[in-house]
Amino acid sequence: MIRQIKSFSQSVARSGQPKPKPKSKRPVSKQVLAERKATLQKRRQLLFEREFDYIPCRQFLKANAEQLATNSPLDAKIPLEQRALDATAAKGLSPYLASLYKTRLLTKDEEQFYFRRMNWLKFRAATTRGRLDQRRATLKQIDQIEYALAEAETVKAILITSNLRLVVSIAKKFVDPNNSFEELVSEGNIALMRAVEKFNFALGNRFSTYATYAVQRHFFRICFKGRQQNTRFVSDDQSLNNRSTEALSTDSCSVEQIAILRKLFAQFLTELEPREQHIVVARFGFDGKPPRTFRELGTTMGVCKERIRQIQTRAMERLRSMACEAHLEQTVGDWL
């Protein structure tokens, strides 16, 4: 009883004490408010200019759409689970390829869930943005939409990474003198990324079937383009290469005329970009060294051989244009 009276008296004494005043917020300067307003306006602009590319599905309009896109299959495992790679299987593989074979493949149910999840997140972000006023969207609403899009990109990365081995297996069949294995794998990965965005999971098909067709079609297009460029530019390359290795005949042109040609050609080279100059001189051996191949120049300059071919083609067109403006063909014809 004494304890109860004592506790009651203490509570009464505390209740009589004045409550502490809440701490007042620090005033925010006008400059800070203006910066926050400008940042919010910029984020609004970026959000409403962004395109949401997703595959529409009737399931998204049902009442249980969010539940289907959130609950993973019962037998689902950890995404991109790493497993030990057999030493014999890893023999002769680059570190990149070896890492691909450590990642397990997705089951059909897992694949369907991740595609549904990715497209549902984009669909929800698009519908949420459609209900907002571009001039009054709050920071919280923008964060919610951007969070959904970021999660969709994470799911997309899971789908891409789990199918990179498919690109490697297809690229091995398209290797030729014009296209190396590494270049094809790089191009195939780009085609795989586009296929993930365009795949209609609602049809119930496996993604590997659709991706195989998309990657193969991309490789066929690359190979055809390479053969077409070879037939178009090989005659020009061979003729110029032969001219660079042969000495000019003094019977047809005098020493003074040869000096004029060399001076004119040197002037043409100065009109090219430094990279174009280097490629033209190295490709046709004008520096006194053996002519270098596209692959050799690509390795030296850190780009693929196709890029070297494109730069050379552009440089040759500029040289032909300068030769026409200087009436070089008419001048040489008059000499001969």
Q: How far does Cα 23 stand from its chain's mean position? A: 51
CATH class, range 248-335 = mainly alpha
Cα atoms in the Cβ-side hemisphere of radius 13 Å centred on 277: 11
Query: What is d(CA 119, CA 153) in angstroms, rounded to the nearest whole number?
Result: 10
For CATH 1.20.120.1810, list the domain ranges present in the chain.
165-246
- The structure tokens listed for 25 are 């917020």
Query: What is d(CA 213, CA 195) in angstroms, rounded to the nearest whole number?
Result: 10
- The structure tokens listed for 326 are 């200087």
Burial of 175 (0-12, 13-18, 19+ CB in 10 A): middle
Domain 165-246 annotated CATH 3.30.9.10: no
| One pLDDT digit (tens) per residue for the chain, 336 residues | 445 445 545 554 455 555 566 666 677 788 888 888 999 999 999 999 998 889 888 888 888 888 888 888 876 777 766 666 655 555 566 787 878 877 888 889 999 999 999 999 999 999 999 999 989 999 999 999 999 999 999 999 999 999 999 999 999 998 887 888 888 999 999 999 999 999 999 888 999 999 999 999 999 988 887 777 666 555 455 554 554 444 444 445 566 667 777 777 777 788 888 888 888 888 887 777 888 888 888 888 877 888 888 888 888 888 888 877 777 666 655 555
Q: Are 162 and 106 in contact (CB under 8 A)?
A: yes
Q: Which of 29, 48, 51 is nearest to 40 (CA)?
A: 48
Q: Which uninterrupted H or E stretch holds 43?
A: helix 30-49
Query: What is d(CA 304, CA 298) in angstroms, rounded to the nearest whole number?
Result: 5
pTM of the model: 0.61
For CATH 1.10.10.10, list the domain ranges present in the chain.
248-335
Query: What is d(CA 180, CA 120) in angstroms, rounded to the nearest whole number?
Result: 38
